[in-house]
Chains A and B, each alone.
Chain A
Amino acid sequence: MARWGMVIDLDRCTACQACVVACQVENNVAPATADQAAAGRAISWLRLVPIQGEKHGTRPDLQLMPLPCMHCSHPPCIKVCPVKATTIDHEGLVAQVYPRCIGCRYCTTACPYTVRHFNWKKPEWPQPMEESLSPDVSVRPRGVVEKCSFCHHRLQKAKDRAHAEGRPLKEGDYLPACAESCPAEAIVFGDLDDSRSAVVRLSQSPRAFKLLEELGTEPKVTYLSKGEWGGQV
């Protein structure tokens, strides 16, 4: 059984935000209006967060780090949900069940990474965009929580395709939109249980670290950096 994980190489990342845009479009995340953004209510499943990094001569010490859902193996969000609206499946994907969520926002407060978002309003798109929504991803109603799904719908499609071609799923068949769109190839995605996969090889790198690992959440997203990032976040 596969266990999906991601490696983000911060030494390759140029902070171009192609992944952010790709994610937004892929998952029907409505763009925030200026008012919403100012009120601190913009939804983004994957965003760049500013991190105080190491100083290298005259280089600015503020660095940006892409932050998707960590898809923890021990997710703090699942335990606290009063209605089982967030679950982890046998392939390690942490999912949100929109039709069941009551919008209590306990998961959003329990998540130490603050990657869960709440739909403060009914999502709205500027006119022509409304017609180009992805048919593979449901549009969330007002009042529920949503988050990065590792583009779970793409896994379904990849499995169907492999099945139709009568072959097993192979590396690269299933990629989330962010990994696919990264021009610097800084985001690598694959099966953490497959010892030959790139994610396993990269996560054994001496540059590898995970966010807030000390909390015991066991994130399935690994970061790579030459700098001392781990201690800075």
Chain B
Amino acid sequence: MDKSELGQDIRLLRPIERTGRGFWIFTGILLAIGAWGVFAWFNQLRRGLAVTGLNVPVYWGLYITNFVFFIGISHAGTLISAILRLAHAEWRRSITRAAEVITVLVLFFGMACVILDLGRPDRVMNVIMHGNFSSPLLWDVCSVSLYLIASTIYLYLPLIPDIAILRDVLPRRQWLYRPLALGWTGTPRQHHLLERAISIMAIIVIPIAVSVHTVVSWVFAMTVQPMWHSTIFGPYFVVGAIFSGIAAILLAMAIIRKAYHLEDYLKPIHFNNLGLLLLVFSLLWFYFTFAEFLTTYYGGEPMHMAVFLSKTEGKFSPLFWTMFVTCFAIPFPLLANRRTRGTVWGCVVASLSVEVGMWLERFLIVVPSLSNPRLPLTAATYTPSWVEWSLFAAFVSIFMLLYAIFTKLFPIVSIWEIREGRESSVKEVSTRVESYLPGPVESAS
């Protein structure tokens, strides 16, 4: 491959070839926040979990909230991308990679949150050496590791042809691109194998992704604690995860579009289509939340009502109603209206709101149930400490930094898939539409 062959897609290589001052400033800020997080972490290692705001009976707080939140975000990429690929949604081509990278990176932060939460992080290997398979935490370990492996493969496979382009076109970083390109030359046989592998992986990752957040919910639902012990928690968590995941893709797309001037590739139509998906999930979120709370309220068991009331009118009510506003009242009208949904800012505001709301939802699942235990105790309130907030900020920053570094090493919009779309899928789609219309019957292939 030669640079001239790339045509207008050459601009997808620009972020890799050139790095502006803005990027370094951005990196500097993120690194500073990350360094502050390292300081906070050393503080915790030295003084133990006493530096957190946790207490009896609120044994879990921000770290577990963030664990659920980050693993939730991971449902952005791989799952959405796999569904769009399998559904032959042609508008996926410029967004799948940006989505898949989120999954692979954010999973590390989700797992790191659990390690942060351990009283004895030095003994984490006990989970493997003395694993107890009746513990939902071990189901998590298995499910999340499997998801990480599958997502990494699923990110890497469609990267191969693009890495080969970089190998051929860029003089720099041959040590990286040459081995990773696996000798890709773009022969029909290679293409055939790649397409097959991608399709197989796309099918495999869907059940794994669904299992991941189901199992995360079971960490709570398998106990008998009030408002945790719920049969709908599995699907409720999966819906929430995809909801926050789509919002994360939209935010990533908006930033990439702005920073790298990719207005031609990430068009309002892409935001509109993902916005529609976000709209559907805001309705699903409302439905599940309503079903969950109505069941608890109608049953009216005192232990459950204690948690219910602490959320709806007690000390957690400001957070609860903010969650309702940010998960539903703000995004729903923005996304239901074609004029705001079809714009980048409309989707960005809705997505930011959803991220805030979904984080609050995770917090409101973890903390209120623990604050209202079955046996009465002296009232305990949980206020996260500076260490917990710092580590949260650091995780978000380092995640964004790693994401930015990825865009500097690999094209964040898949070059070969865009080319393929331009070259062959227009024809493919019209034949497909023709096959739906009345006419001679062909065997489906």
Contacts and interface: CB of A to CB of B under 8 A. Distances in A.
Interface in B132-150: 132, 134-138, 141
Contacts of B119: 101-105, 118-119, 142-145
B368 to A, nearest CB: 13
Interface string A45-71: 000011110000000000000010000
A105 B135 contact: no
Nearest to A101: B120
B223 A109 contact: yes
A110 interface: yes
Interface stretch (B47-55, B205-213, B341-349, B415-423): B47-55
A143 B120 contact: yes
B127 A83 contact: yes
Nearest to A47: B377
B376 interface: yes
Given A49-B376, A76-B223, A106 B135 contact: yes
A82 B59 contact: no
B110 to A, nearest CB: 15
Contacts of B224: 76, 110, 112, 215
Interface in A125-149: 141-145
Interface in B32-61: 47-50, 54-60
A121 B50 contact: yes
B130 A41 contact: no
B375 A113 contact: yes
Interface in B114-136: 114, 117-121, 123-124, 126-127, 130-132, 134-136
B225 interface: yes
A2 B157 CA distance: 61
A122 B124 contact: no
B358 interface: no
Nearest to B60: A109
In the complex, which of the residues B56, B118, B127, B137 has the most CB atoms of chain A within 10 Å of its own CB atom?
A: B56
A19 to B, nearest CB: 17
Nearest to B373: A114
B135 A81 contact: yes
Given A80-B135, A84-B132, A120-B48, A233 B126 contact: no
B71 interface: no
Contacts of A76: 223-224
A145 B118 CA distance: 11
A51 B132 CA distance: 36
Main secondary structure of the interface of B (DSSP, over half): loop
Interface residues of A, number: 45
Nearest to A80: B135
A211 B120 CA distance: 32
B219 interface: yes
Contacts of A141: 120
Contacts of A51: 376
B374 interface: yes
A212 interface: yes
Contacts of B56: 40-42, 108, 114, 117-118
Interface string B378-392: 101000000000000
Given A40-B380, A49-B377, A120-B50, A103 B118 contact: yes
A83 B374 contact: no
Given A82-B135, A101-B120, A143 B376 contact: no
B222 interface: yes
Contacts of B413: none
Interface string A82-110: 11110000000000000011111110111
Contact of B118 (A39, A104, A113, A117): A104
B370 interface: yes
Interface of B: 47-50, 54-60, 114, 117-121, 123-124, 126-127, 130-132, 134-138, 141, 219, 222-225, 370, 373-378, 380
20 contacts: A41-B50, A49-B375, A80-B135, A80-B137, A80-B222, A81-B132, A82-B141, A100-B126, A102-B119, A103-B49, A103-B118, A104-B118, A106-B135, A108-B57, A109-B57, A109-B60, A110-B223, A110-B225, A114-B56, A121-B50
Interface of A: 39-42, 49-52, 67, 76, 79-85, 100-106, 108-110, 112-114, 117-122, 141-145, 211-212, 215, 233
Given A83-B132, A103-B49, 8 more contacts: A80-B134, A83-B126, A102-B124, A103-B120, A105-B117, A109-B223, A142-B119, A211-B375
